Amino acid sequence: MEILKVATNSKPNAVAGALAGVLREKGVAEIQAIGAGAVNQAIKAIAIARGYVAPSGIDLVCIPTFSDVEIDGEVRTAVRFFVEPKK
């Protein structure tokens, strides 16, 4: 599964558009954020994407998890959001 990576300076509307596109194409998506600012932008993007897909009759569920990722030889803790349609 493709992971959408969100940074502190990511624009929530752009991430939301990408998220909505992945959800329409594949049915599920995963977002990864490292740091408080990135997590904030990711949550805003999920809320905006929910509005983008709602007219299609899709309601979203978001499941947050922690994940260790290695960046430049350093292990960091990321928050991953598994986003899927509500069943």
Quick: pLDDT tens for 18-64.
999 999 999 999 999 999 999 999 999 999 999 999 999 999 999 99
Residue 59, judged by CB atoms within 10 A of its CB (0-12, 13-18, 19+), counts as: exposed
What are the two backbone dihedrals, phi and then psi, of residue 24, each rounded to the nearest 5 degrees? -70, -35
pLDDT greater than 80 at residue 76:
yes
| Owning domain of residue 56 | 3-85
Domain count, the chain: 1
Name the pLDDT band for 2 (thresholds 50, 70, 90): confident
User: Cβ contacts of residue 13 below 8 Å, gap of 6+?
Assistant: 45, 48
Whichever domain contains 79, its CATH number is 3.30.110.20
What are the two backbone dihedrals, phi and then psi, of residue 17, each rounded to the nearest 5 degrees? -65, -45
Q: What is the pTM of this model?
A: 0.93
